[in-house]
């Protein structure tokens, strides 16, 4: 009964950020380190995969676990433009791509070795037009449409239910701003790039994106 809300969810797509890798998470009584290694991040993803499979199997009348897809983490652009940080960027702390991206690559290699799931080899170009000025977040106009297109192509559950994403024309378009835990800035939600979703119940047989 505790897992009844999972009934009917047969696919999960996981895409994690890099707050932990870049030290963007505050220390708490249960999280003593603000920065974790790629190995620790991969271990956390494995626990999520195991939890989702166990919970969905328990909620299924057949005992079958849901399929879990774990996406590769996109590389950062860095505040230096195309190469490696150090150039003073959008007013916040500098983002050194030369330091961060090897960790992201290692995490992606570890994602390929996770068990009970399928790795999704996302690969976004390190092109300034795909990123916001901070060199970290994807731009609503180009970056998120590219991400959504790759997800639809590489994840079978999403490919079956994908709706075309049209690039934003900028300005005050639809979609509320969302707060980013990494930099406390407000960014437009990627949901603004998609048409209004169907009723919640219609989504249950398809996929849950976490």
Q: How many CB atoms lie within 10 A of CB 39?
A: 11
Whether 168 shows a pLDDT value over 90: the answer reads no
**Is residue 120 within 8 Å of 155, Cβ to Cβ?**
yes
Q: What is the pTM of this model?
A: 0.68
pLDDT of 7: 67
What's the rounded mean pLDDT across residues 71-95? Answer: 63
- Residues 14, 72: Cα–Cα separation, whole Å: 9
Q: Which strand ranges, in their side-by-side order, compose the sheet holding 11-14?
A: 118-120, 67-71, 11-14, 208-209
User: What was the pLDDT predicted at 46?
Assistant: 96
Distance CA 174, CA 48 (A): 32
CA torsion 176-72-75-159 (nearest 10°) is -50
Lowest mean pLDDT across 1-10, 29-38, 109-118, 151-160: 1-10
d(CA 41, CA 169): 36
Question: How buried is 23 (Cβ within 10 angstroms: 0-12 exposed, 13-18 middle, 19+ buried)?
Answer: middle
Asked if residue 100 has pLDDT above 60, the reply is yes
Q: What is the pLDDT of residues 109-167, one digit of tens each?
A: 999 999 999 999 999 999 999 999 999 999 999 999 999 999 989 988 887 665 554 54
Q: Band of the pLDDT at 93, cuts 50, 70, 90?
A: low
- Give the pLDDT of residue 171: 43
């Amino acid at each position: 009964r505790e897992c009844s809300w999972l009934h009917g969810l047969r696919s999960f797509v996981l895409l994690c950020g890099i707050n932990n890798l870049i030290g963007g998470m505050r220390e708490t009584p249960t999280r003593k380190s603000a920065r974790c290694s790629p190995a620790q991040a991969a271990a956390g993803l494995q626990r999520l995969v195991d939890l989702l499979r166990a919970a969905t199997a328990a909620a299924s009348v057949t005992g079958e676990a849901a399929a879990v897809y774990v996406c590769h983490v996109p590389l950062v652009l860095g505040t230096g433009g195309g190469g490696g940080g150090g150039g003073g960027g959008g007013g916040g702390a500098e983002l050194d791509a030369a330091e961060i991206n090897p960790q992201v690559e290692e995490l992606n290699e570890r994602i390929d070795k996770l068990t009970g799931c399928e790795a999704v080899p996302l690969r976004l170009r390190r092109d300034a037009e795909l990123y916001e000025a901070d060199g970290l977040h994807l731009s609503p106009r180009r970056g998120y449409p590219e991400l959504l297109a790759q997800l639809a192509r590489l994840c079978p559950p999403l490919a079956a239910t994908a709706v075309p994403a049209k690039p934003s024309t900028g300005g005050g378009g639809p979609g509320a701003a969302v707060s980013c835990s990494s930099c406390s800035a407000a960014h437009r939600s990627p949901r603004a790039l998609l048409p209004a979703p169907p009723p919640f119940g219609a989504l249950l047989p398809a996929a849950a994106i976490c």
